[in-house]
Every structure is written in structure tokens, then in C-alpha cells.
Amino acid sequence: MKPPLPREHGAWVMLFTPLTLGWLLAPVWQAQISLFFVASLSFFLLRHPLTVFVKRWNRPSKDWQYLQRWAVIYGGITVISGGWLVFINQFWWLLPAALLGGLLLLFNLWLVSKRQDMSVVGELTGIFGLAMGAPMAYYVSSGQFAPLAFLLWLINFLYFGGTVFYVKLKVRQQPRLPEPESVLDRFLQAKVCLGYQLLVFAILTVLILQNDFLVWGTYLIFVPATLKMVWGAWQWQDKKSLNLKRLGMIELVHTFIFAGLVWAVAIYG
């Protein structure tokens, strides 16, 4: 009866960070937000047994019935809690959000069938869906939308998108290559990671110039992550010193810093 849970610790952080920010920064807190957390968590958990099904489609195993049972449980909780919010509490905008989330899940399962779920496209698609938790939590908590709700979606997507390129740099790229002698060569090896961060600042600049609700303090939110990437590009990672737990803890600390800066800029910026 032990429920099957995703083993990707980073995915849990990517789930709860947008949800929490959307809830905390909403102008009004309604009790229905707890039901939305339940619906979001159960939908997030539903992906795990479905992913196992797709991966083992041609290799049935003894735990299929166990996974089917929990897929029904997760799906049932999602439908009941989400349906209550839509049809009883009348949060009608959850319907298109649920449709988009379902389409993203199907696309992700298709990538799983092609063994491409850990590709850049696969991971960014998943982050795009998880970041939706911010505006929808804002909506359910306050009963209204605001520019800040969609800004939270964008900021969460841009931030966690950067972690994809950084982790790939430190885990898949640097340990497989000989350590460059010059600093310039190290930064060139990290050109995708650093280029993404430059793109983030370019997007923020355009939005700040075109929208009054976006303040220049938004830059501060991405400064710690940028410094981390620059340091990571310079500090070469070889196979012997690679420590996934330490890397995960670093990402967790930076996520807490990110969330704190988002809150501070939104409140005092």
C-alpha cells in the first residue's frame, strides 16, 4: 500500500515553490487554496505511475496492478478536488489550466516513450507546467487574476529553466571533458548555460521597459543564480569530485534565496 512517489527531488521543489509564492503573494487568502494544493499534488503524483507504464509497456511486471491502483487513486483525487473547485467554488479558469496541464502531461509521456523525457525540451516542458502553479494558486487564493500572477509564472519558468542547463553543465558536460587550461575556454564550454542567463536578462529588460508593474529590482532575483553559473563555469567539475547530493543541496539553497527575493521584490519593490 506504500504509494509510488517520484524520485526526482528537484521536481518536488519545482512543484511547491511556484505554488507557495502564488499563495503567499495573493492579496487575499481563501480556504479553498488548501484544496488546490491537494489537486496540484495529486496531479503531480499521477505522472509517476503513468511514466512507469509507458517505459515498461512491452515488459509487463508484477507491480502493474499496484501502479494501476495508485494511478486511479491519484487521478480520482485530482478530479474530485479539482472538480469541487470548478463546479462548487466556481473557479472556472481552472478548466483551461487543467486542459493545458493534461496536454503537457501527454506530451511528456510521448517523450518518455521516445526516451527523450530528460532532454532539454522534455525538462523545460515539465517546468513550464509546474510554473503554472503560481498564477493558479494566486487565482484560487484571491479569486482574481493580476499581472503579478502571470509574472510569477514567467519568473519561475525562467529561473528553474536555468537550473536545467546548469545541472547538465556540471553533471553531463564538464566531467566528460578534460579540464581546459584557460579561463576563456571554461566559459566557452559553458556558453549555453551562460547564454541562457543572458537571454533571461534580455527578456526582463524588454518587459521592464514595456510594463509599469515590472520593477528594475526584478534583476536582483536572478543575480545569485547568475553568480552561481559563472562560478560553476570557472570551477571545473571532474568525475572524482562530482557529488550529486552536494549539487542538489546547492540548488535547494539557491531556490530558497530565489523565493525570498521574489517575495521581497513583490512586497517592497
User: What pLDDT digit, counting tens, does each position of 71-106 carry?
Assistant: 999 999 999 999 999 999 999 999 999 999 999 999
Which CB contacts under 8 angstroms, 24+ apart, belong to 175-183?
A: 175/237, 175/238, 175/239, 175/242, 179/236, 179/238, 180/236, 183/234
Cell numbers of 64, please? 502493474
Distance in angstroms (rounded) separating the CA atoms of residues 198 and 31: 40
Q: Where are the domains of the chain?
A: 1-145, 147-269
pLDDT at 64: 80
pLDDT at residue 63 tops 70: yes
pLDDT at 211: 76
Q: Quote the pTM value.
A: 0.94
CA neighbor of 141 nearest in space, from 17, 24, 266? 24
pLDDT at residue 109 tops 90: yes
Q: Give me the mean pLDDT over the 4-27 stretch.
A: 93
pLDDT at residue 1 tops 80: no
How far from 42 is each of 122, 154, 204, CA to CA, in Å?
A: 21, 23, 33
Least confident of 49-58, 189-198, 215-224: 49-58
pLDDT, one tens digit per residue, over 18-30 is 999 999 999 988 8
Q: Give me the mean pLDDT over the 118-145 stretch.
A: 94
Q: How many CB atoms lie within 10 A of CB 245?
A: 8
pLDDT, one tens digit per residue, over 160-194 is 999 999 999 999 999 999 999 899 999 999 999 99
CATH topology of domain 1-145: Tetracycline Repressor; domain 2 (1.10.357)
